[in-house]
Structure 1
Amino acid sequence: MKKITIFISFVVFSMFFATGCSSDDIKKIDVYEMESFSAIKEDSLTSYTDSEEVSLVVKAFNNAKKEPGIVDIADPEYQVQIGEESYYLWIREEQGTIMNVNDTHTIYSLSKNSAEKVYDLLN
């Protein structure tokens, strides 16, 4: 019975993450620079309200691929608030990684193209 409950929970979470939020529903994305997993840099909030920028980030996050294995990762560079969901973000010109703040045992990789676009937006 316990295995079935765990499996159902996993399926529900996976469906929610896979379908994610429609960029039509999201009007604003808030991005905070981080000092550590538990500390946001003071006065670091940047809000994006342009529909193209919002859509770019939502699509990049929704299309991220789950990575196997145990997560042991450095402190995040950013925290991104998309609707009701919040993610940690590590980003470079050609590589990006996200982690849902409510599931710190799983990471997702952005495609190279998505990472480039998100990196350009944030820098």
Structure 2
Amino acid sequence: MKRMSLLLIAVVFTMFFVSGCTSKNNQKVVVYEMESFSDIKKDSLTSFTDTEVVNDFVKAFNNAVKMPGIVNMADPEYKVEIGEESYFLWINEESGTIMNLNDTHTIYILSKSSAKTIHELLN
């Protein structure tokens, strides 16, 4: 019984520790304007630390829909860093597309409302 209690306490502590670390990673969104896949536009860094804005980015990116097949895209408009993840972003008022830098053969489409929100934040 004592072992079970200690195990339960250890699991709960670990969950709090991991969730605390995860939320700290998402306290900031960094955006760069891009000239090409490999070149960042000079002096284009923008950081968002407002919790609501960070949550808008996280929600939009987490709810994006994966598109099938391998893609060949034009140069990205933005590079977005959320925590330890980095994405390329193509955006306008009506639509948005992201590509995780760890998988540059796959794109994800933002919902129309998410695209509008992110576009407004960047303009």
Give me the TM-score of the superposition, normalised by structure 2: 0.80
Aligned CA distance change for structure 1 residues 56 and 24 (closer, same or farther; 3 Å): farther
In 2, the alpha carbon distance for the partners of 1:31 and 1:42 equals 12
Q: 1:46 corresponds to which residue?
A: 46
Deviations along 1:65-106, one digit per CA (max 9) or x if unpaired, are 000122011000000000000000000101000000111000
Find the structure with the greater CA-based Rg.
Answer: 2
Q: Contact conserved, 1:94 with 1:112, CA < 8 A, in 2?
A: yes
**Structure with the higher fraction of residues in helix conformation:** 2
Q: State the identity %.
A: 69
Deviations along 1:43-76, one digit per CA (max 9) or x if unpaired, are 1000000110000000000000000122011000
Give the RMSD, CA atoms, in angstroms.
1.3
Deviation at 1:23, TM superposition (A): 6.0
Give me the TM-score of the superposition, normalised by structure 1: 0.80
**Structure with the higher fraction of residues in strand conformation:** 1
Deviates more, 1:49-58 or 1:23-32: 23-32
Q: 1:19 corresponds to which residue?
A: none
Q: Contact conserved, 1:27 with 1:49, CA < 8 A, in 2?
A: yes
What is the aligned length?
102
